[in-house]
Structure 1
Amino acid sequence: MLHKKGCIPTYLAALIGASFAFPALSNPVQGLEAGAEDVERVEVIGARQAYRGNFSTLETPQSELVISSDVLIDAGAFDLSQALDLSSSVARQNNFGGLWNSFAVRGFVGDENLPSNYLVNGFNAGRGFGGARDLSGIESVEVLKGPRAAIFGRGEPGGTINLVTKRPTFDKEGNIRVLAGSFDTYRVDLDYTTPISDDIAVRFVGYYEDAESFRDTIETKRRAMSPSIAWQIDDKSQLVYELEYSRQEVPFDRGVIAIDGVLGLIPESRFLGEPGEGPMEADVLGHQLEYQHDFNDNWSALVGVNYRDTSLEGSATETGFGDVIDGEINRFRRTRDYDATYQVFRAELTGEFELAGLAHRLIVGIDSDEFENDQVFLRVRGDQFINVFNPVYGAYPLPTPGPNTDRVETQESLGVFIQDQISITDKLDIRIGARFDDYEQELINRRSDTTATQTESRVSPQFGIVYQTTDTLSLYAAYGENFRPLSGNDADGNGFEPNQSSSMEAGIKFTLNDGNLTGTVALFRVEQENLLVVDDPTAFTSAAIGEAESQGIEIDLNGEIGDGLMLWASYSYVDAQTENAFFDANFGFTVEAGSPLLNIPEHQLSLQLVKESELSGRPFEYGGGVVYVGDRNGFFGTDFELPSYTLARAFVNYEISESLSVRGELENLFDETYYLNSFADVWVQPGAPRNFRVSATYRF
């Protein structure tokens, strides 16, 4: 499908012919292999992420949180949702039966019928149907808070998640990890990088996982690989290609139900679907190509192209929205065949110069993307009852679903952006930026044989100011506007005006302990309009009539607080609610103004302490963490709530030798019953009881 509309060949031609060059990689090439004495060593060009520029933490007038690979390992995070639990600004949302990542940043989530978008090395990558994102090939997770439309383009108003991948280095090294845990969980990870010549290095990252679950009858299989190759063309230029492949087989699991609004009347292990359906299958095949170059010490540029193909298919029987009568609830059966492609091109120039006696740091660029979302959705309702207290699977023949949705939607955009951070004095900087987006949407309804198109142009401005009072403390404030295109159609078959938002934030950034400990305290307020609400659930149409706001405070503190003692702390207070009343046809009632937004806790905390020590002369690491999530609305527009929960975990890690280490982890230490998220009182995702993992890692 690379030939679609000529986009990829055009981009590659532009890439080959361009004289742009890229800023440095997230894992930049680090020189030639030691021991090649007759070859000049290639030095690092410098490390800078795409769209980010060369700014220290204290110089950046926005709140950002970078979760490194060490922190992810210590937290026992294997997928993106677990990683984002480390940021209190991010709240879990309905994860579509475990088949995708869905999250809200600062109270706001995207389209409930699509996964939450995220970036991979600056490329849009999260809106497809490839299953929950595993962290096997990820070096770090960046939580970039606040509106980022002025640089990244259309996106979520609360913030942007960017994943930085593991890339080749010229240091030959590798490791293999073997893991076993509760619920018959088995996993193998491999990570190996090596030079294959004086200027070319490769890396292979992959995993295989086979696991049952605390949920009855649920078993999953996941596998992925991420090979990459880096070419150090000369001491100023690099070319990197990355491939992403994954396949997941995951049963569709809507979770448990609250009977008459009460949770816990059935076990958290109770599965209410049909095991005979088999798993849903989610696949990803993606490519990223980046070329970077430094013209000199002050100017650099990049060109990049990305193509990602995802699919989700399978059938599932799900509980409906009716009441439990005599112990039974009705269900419906649905079949999904979803395909999505995402292709992105970008080019960016960054540099530093002086003008009129003022120092400028400039980012200017152009990008374009095309997202194609092809959905075939079948459904059948009827007498498919199940007894929630004594389920009998396979009691009914599986009915054949009939047509419901058959459509393909294409979103295309072209954006031009500029950002200039001007040093007014040695201590005072201002940031001014804007982005112009030209956007086109086409929605083809194959059932009704109709086509609707619309075009939009948007300017997204940003303003920021940062004052560095000392070498260890700065004050900042920022304002930005954001827009996000909306998928789907209204009752007349037309598309929607984009979701619009504005955001303000102000805060303090500081470093302590000789720069080893960094912190941010931020106040924020976000306002949104044109939020989608269900207009006709039978026709699968919506209306863009919702308004909402979010405000709160965030505190992030992480780094070394003592000799070998590492702290990670993140706390947030978020007040997120609707601003207008509207009728929700999905459930047949009016959502009043001032209603809390779904799955958004007012208070959330993530805390982790890790101690590095020695045992019998060998490195020994131990620690633990606590996650607290407050009460949340569990059924939008009603008073149904998910209760608060506090989870504790602990781990130990011991290096038996320079090449072998062992690790033990215990999750949910106090075996708390808890619920992660919900869509309504009949679709509630329970959390796992106390469980353990043991693993061994061999380095070579």
Structure 2
Amino acid sequence: MCFIYNPVNAQAQIGTITGIVKTIDGKPAAYVSISLVKTNRGTTTNENGYYELRNIKAGSYALKISSVGLQTEEYPVTINSGKTSKMDFRLKENASKLSEVQISSRKSINQKTVSVGKSGIIARDLPQSVQILDSTVIRDQQVNRLADVMKNVNGVAFGENRGSTNDAFFARGYSLGGNNVLKNGARSSIGGSPETSTLESVEVLKGSAALLYGGVTGGAVVNLVTKKPKFNFGGEVSMRAGSYDLYKPIVDVYGPIAKNIAFRAIATKENANSFRDNVKTNRFYVNPSLLFKLGQNTELIVQGDYLKSNYTPDFGIGTVNNKIVDIGRNKFLNTLWAYNNTNTTTAQATVNHRFSDNWKLNVLVAYQGYTRNYFSAERPAANAAGIAARNLTRSKTEEYTYNEQINLTGAAKTGSIKHSFLIGGDADQARTTSYGFKYDNNATTYNYGNINLLAGADTYNTRTDIPATRIISNTFAPVFRMGGFAQDLISFTDKLKLLAGIR
């Protein structure tokens, strides 16, 4: 570790010490502890690696630098009255190694910035409630679906979609539709039940976030953060197994390709049955990514993923005369061939540029394609005699979305008042096509045959053919949105702050 010592005149009549801590590869070292030995004075570096200790009595001290996984270092420093002493440090560890140390240290999220907030403001200064589920929670709880993660979030309720084939969430009286779920800050469809077992974290920003994201409901915004490439070789291979023939291998490898290029590749395959007869899950997910160091202050991340998610629609055991009867929780009342097949493809490119320690630029371009092919009987509702019609529903949807964002964050002062600025703009384009069908009988409705819920399972699936259908219509729904916004966190003191913005 080396340091640069440079006394700088200051207007204040008290001693101050400031500086910047960087890793050996020139990146800011965040959340490193800085303290004066044999005093109760200390701080941690911020996201930019900057630290500052004020109101220090003039004299000679030992300045200690420490963090979990780092060798503690001490350096002599002299504090002079009315002056600011500047001490910069360069760690022996690189950014990738230090990043791993941050994860294991599990520092309070209140002192970290959250990407869903865009502005680089630490969580405790956001007026909205923020909850973050990190990779430790995802790993320890053996999370597979977004619903598994959201069970940990206060104030968010889970609601099943048609046939238990998708996830649906509600918060503060609002449904969290596709506009309220993001992946790395870009809008993302949850129609295929997003793969969450391989995520770095899930961020939930509760309350209104329309200033930052435009057309979203007021309940909450959920941001899925994927794992990023690293410049040190590593990886993990794991296998999950569970009840009802659940098997899920997961592979995660990362490392450098060249001096300024790193990669990461994640893949998982899931097959499972259910407590319900004939209900199956078949999923495949892959997530490759590349990190390019375009200079000391600029990086480009290119990533994409593909999810194939096939479920058997399951509407449960139905009702008889509007009452639930015990015919056995394993009974399957749908057709034997019912299917809900989805394919989701995303691609993203993100550029991060640092103009200075205080000013940063983020540019994001994203694409997502989502298709859903569905054919199933409806929920059985039998009369008093137990007779229920199995009316079929046939649908097909194609959705293509594009998202562009630019965000400029910075800090400045007006006298003693500090400002944290966010200035940005975004645009969304969506092209959704929904198809209508007719059956061979030239009708848009079809009864696959009545069944008797009380007669026994042998009578449920006496028919196995798939009725032929043809497309008769398509409804095209284009959507275009764009907006600009500005936000300022005004810090009058460390404990009195005002967040104001306009869109």
TM norm. shorter chain > 0.5: yes
Corresponding residue of 1:424: 492
Corresponding residue of 1:562: none
Q: Is the 8 A contact 1:360 1:423 kept in 2?
A: yes
- 1:331 CA displacement: 1.9
Corresponding residue of 2:181: 118
Corresponding residue of 1:449: none
| 1:450-480 deviation per Cα after TM superposition (whole angstroms, max 9, x unaligned) | xxxxxxxxxxxxxxxxxxxxxxxxxxxxxxx
The answer to whether the aligner puts 1:289 opposite 2:352 as a matched pair is no
Partner amino acid for 1:124? R
Q: Is the 8 A contact 1:204 1:226 kept in 2?
A: yes
Structure 2 residue corresponding to 1:273, chosen from 334, 337, 343: 334
Secondary structure in structure 1 of the residue aligned to 2:138:
helix
Q: Is the 8 A contact 1:220 1:249 kept in 2?
A: yes
The answer to whether the aligner puts 1:205 opposite 2:271 as a matched pair is no
Corresponding residue of 2:387: 328
Q: Is the 8 A contact 2:114 2:123 kept in 1?
A: no
Matches within 5 A, 1:398-477: 398-401=466-469, 406-435=474-503
How far, CA to CA, are the matches of 2:473 and 2:130 in structure 1? 40
- 1:140 CA displacement: 0.5
The answer to whether the aligner puts 1:382 opposite 2:447 as a matched pair is yes
| 1:273-326 deviation per Cα after TM superposition (whole angstroms, max 9, x unaligned) | 10134x322111110000001111100011110001111114212235x54342
Secondary structure in structure 2 of the residue aligned to 1:196:
strand
How far, CA to CA, are the matches of 2:400 and 2:121 in structure 1? 33
1:200 and 1:402, CA in 2 relative to 1: closer, same or farther beyond 3 A?
closer
1:371 and 1:265, CA in 2 relative to 1: closer, same or farther beyond 3 A?
same
- 1:166 CA displacement: 0.5
Q: Is the 8 A contact 1:136 1:205 kept in 2?
A: no
Matches within 5 A, 1:50-129: 51-110=117-176, 117-126=180-189, 129=191
Q: Is the 8 A contact 2:116 2:203 kept in 1?
A: no
How far, CA to CA, are the matches of 2:330 and 2:351 in structure 1? 49
The answer to whether the aligner puts 1:346 opposite 2:409 as a matched pair is no
Secondary structure in structure 1 of the residue aligned to 2:137:
helix
CA RMSD of aligned residues (A): 2.7
The answer to whether the aligner puts 1:195 opposite 2:263 as a matched pair is no
Q: Is the 8 A contact 1:51 1:152 kept in 2?
A: no
Unpaired runs of 5+ residues, structure 2, are 1-27, 31-46, 48-91, 100-111, 438-443
The answer to whether the aligner puts 1:251 opposite 2:316 as a matched pair is no
1:432 and 1:72, CA in 2 relative to 1: closer, same or farther beyond 3 A?
same
| 1:483-511 deviation per Cα after TM superposition (whole angstroms, max 9, x unaligned) | xxxxxxxxxxxxxxxxxxxxxxxxxxxxx
How far, CA to CA, are the matches of 2:145 and 2:397 in structure 1? 22
Q: Is the 8 A contact 2:113 2:121 kept in 1?
A: no
- 1:61 CA displacement: 1.4
Q: Is the 8 A contact 1:137 1:166 kept in 2?
A: yes
How far, CA to CA, are the matches of 2:452 and 2:419 in structure 1? 68
How far, CA to CA, are the matches of 1:404 and 1:264 in structure 2? 39
Corresponding residue of 1:590: none
Partner amino acid for 2:486? I
How far, CA to CA, are the matches of 1:123 and 1:387 in structure 2? 48
How far, CA to CA, are the matches of 1:269 and 1:71 in structure 2? 31
- Aligned pairs, how many? 394
- 1:206 CA displacement: 0.8
1:156 and 1:404, CA in 2 relative to 1: closer, same or farther beyond 3 A?
farther
1:138 and 1:423, CA in 2 relative to 1: closer, same or farther beyond 3 A?
same
Q: Is the 8 A contact 1:328 1:385 kept in 2?
A: yes
1:287 and 1:254, CA in 2 relative to 1: closer, same or farther beyond 3 A?
same
Secondary structure in structure 2 of the residue aligned to 1:350:
strand
Secondary structure in structure 2 of the residue aligned to 1:213:
coil
Partner amino acid for 2:403? V
Length-normalised TM-score, structure 1: 0.53
Secondary structure in structure 2 of the residue aligned to 1:203:
strand
1:200 and 1:349, CA in 2 relative to 1: closer, same or farther beyond 3 A?
same
Q: Is the 8 A contact 2:342 2:370 kept in 1?
A: yes
How far, CA to CA, are the matches of 1:405 and 1:393 in structure 2? 31
1:147 and 1:415, CA in 2 relative to 1: closer, same or farther beyond 3 A?
same
1:430 and 1:404, CA in 2 relative to 1: closer, same or farther beyond 3 A?
farther
Corresponding residue of 2:362: 302
Q: Is the 8 A contact 1:347 1:367 kept in 2?
A: yes
Q: Is the 8 A contact 1:102 1:116 kept in 2?
A: no
Secondary structure in structure 1 of the residue aligned to 2:143:
coil
How far, CA to CA, are the matches of 2:94 and 2:138 in structure 1? 30
Partner amino acid for 2:206? K
More moved, 310-319 vs 395-404: 395-404
How far, CA to CA, are the matches of 1:67 and 1:355 in structure 2? 37
Q: Is the 8 A contact 1:98 1:132 kept in 2?
A: no
How far, CA to CA, are the matches of 1:374 and 1:108 in structure 2? 25
Structure 2 residue corresponding to 1:393, chosen from 458, 461, 473: 461
Partner amino acid for 2:186? F
- 1:24 CA displacement: 12
Q: Is the 8 A contact 2:139 2:197 kept in 1?
A: no
1:402 and 1:334, CA in 2 relative to 1: closer, same or farther beyond 3 A?
farther
| 1:317-342 deviation per Cα after TM superposition (whole angstroms, max 9, x unaligned) | 2235x543422211211222211011
Secondary structure in structure 2 of the residue aligned to 1:102:
strand
1:24 and 1:101, CA in 2 relative to 1: closer, same or farther beyond 3 A?
farther
Q: Is the 8 A contact 2:176 2:219 kept in 1?
A: no
Matches within 5 A, 1:506-655: none
1:319 and 1:49, CA in 2 relative to 1: closer, same or farther beyond 3 A?
closer
Q: Is the 8 A contact 1:24 1:292 kept in 2?
A: no
Secondary structure in structure 2 of the residue aligned to 1:133:
coil
- 1:55 CA displacement: 2.4
| 1:580-630 deviation per Cα after TM superposition (whole angstroms, max 9, x unaligned) | xxxxxxxxxxxxxxxxxxxxxxxxxxxxxxxxxxxxxxxxxxxxxxxxxxx
- 1:384 CA displacement: 2.0
Unpaired runs of 5+ residues, structure 1, are 1-22, 29-39, 436-700
Secondary structure in structure 2 of the residue aligned to 1:262:
coil
Length-normalised TM-score, structure 2: 0.73
1:371 and 1:135, CA in 2 relative to 1: closer, same or farther beyond 3 A?
same
1:302 and 1:383, CA in 2 relative to 1: closer, same or farther beyond 3 A?
closer
| 1:514-550 deviation per Cα after TM superposition (whole angstroms, max 9, x unaligned) | xxxxxxxxxxxxxxxxxxxxxxxxxxxxxxxxxxxxx
Identity %: 26
